[in-house]
Amino acid sequence: MNYGIALFPSKELQDHANSYRMRYDSHYALIPPHITLKETFEISEEELPLYISTLKEIANNAQPVHINIYKVDTFYPQSNTIFFKIREHASLMYLYDALHQDPFSRNEKYGFIPHLTIGQDLSNQEHSDVAGQLKMKTIEHQETINRMQLLYQLENGSWTVYETFHLGKDA
C-alpha cells in the first residue's frame, strides 16, 4: 500500500490555499492542503507496525513545527508546481531528517524545500501567468502545527488519514 506523511495546517491557511488550489491544482480533490514531510512510499501490511512505532518515537522526540510562509514561489524549470514557500526551521528539518532515515527510505535526489503546493500540472503558459502574478503578492503567515498524519492512498489517487501523531513529549 502507498503511504505518505504530511502536516495539515490550520483551517485558515487551508482555506487560503484552497482559494488558489481550486483553480490551479490538479490534486485539489485528492487531499486537503498540506505540507509533505515524506513523499509516497510503499510498505506491506506486515511492515506497518514497525513504521507506526517509529513514527510515535519520532513524534515524541519532535517539537511542534513552526511554519513561516513568506512568499509564493515555483519549482520551474524542474516542474510547474507553484507553492507557498516556508522558511526553513529546525523543528521542520528535524522531522524531515527523521523521516528519511532507517527504516524509512532516504532521499538522495533532492534537498528539502518546505512548501505548501497551491498549483500543479499547469500548462507552461498558464504556469508562467499564474506564477508571475502570485509572486508579486505580499504573503506573510505564521503558525504552529502540533501533529502530523500518516495517510494511505486509494486507487483513485485520493488520500485517507490512517493515524495522527502528536509532536512533542507532552502529547
| Footprint of a second copy (CB under 8 A) | 1, 8, 11, 14-15, 18, 22, 28-29, 32, 147, 149, 152, 154-156, 158-164
Query: From residue 82, how far is each of 5, 33, 64, 100, 156 by CA, in Å?
Result: 20, 13, 26, 24, 23
Is residue 34 annotated as a catalytic residue, yes or no?
Answer: yes
- 59 is written with which cell numbers? 513524534
Closer residue to a second copy, CB minimum distance, 2 or 128: 2
Q: How far is the CB of 109 from a second copy (least distance, A)?
A: 28
The one catalytic residue in 16, 27, 89, 115 is 115
Q: How far is the CB of 90 from a second copy (least distance, A)?
A: 25
Is residue 89 annotated as a catalytic residue, yes or no?
Answer: no
Closer residue to a second copy, CB minimum distance, 93 or 154: 154
Closer residue to a second copy, CB minimum distance, 19 or 142: 19
- SS3 assignment, position 143: strand
Closer residue to a second copy, CB minimum distance, 41 or 76: 41
Chain-centroid distance of CA 150 in Å reads: 11
The one catalytic residue in 16, 27, 34, 66 is 34
Spell out where 22-76 has E strands: 35-42, 65-74
Q: How far is the CB of 108 from a second copy (least distance, A)?
A: 29
Q: How far is the CB of 32 from a second copy (least distance, A)?
A: 4
CB 44 within 8 A of CB 86: no
- 27 is written with which cell numbers? 490534486
In angstroms, the CA 14 to CA 83 distance is 13
152 phi/psi in degrees, rounded to 5:
-125, 160
Name the residues annotated as catalytic. Answer: 34, 115
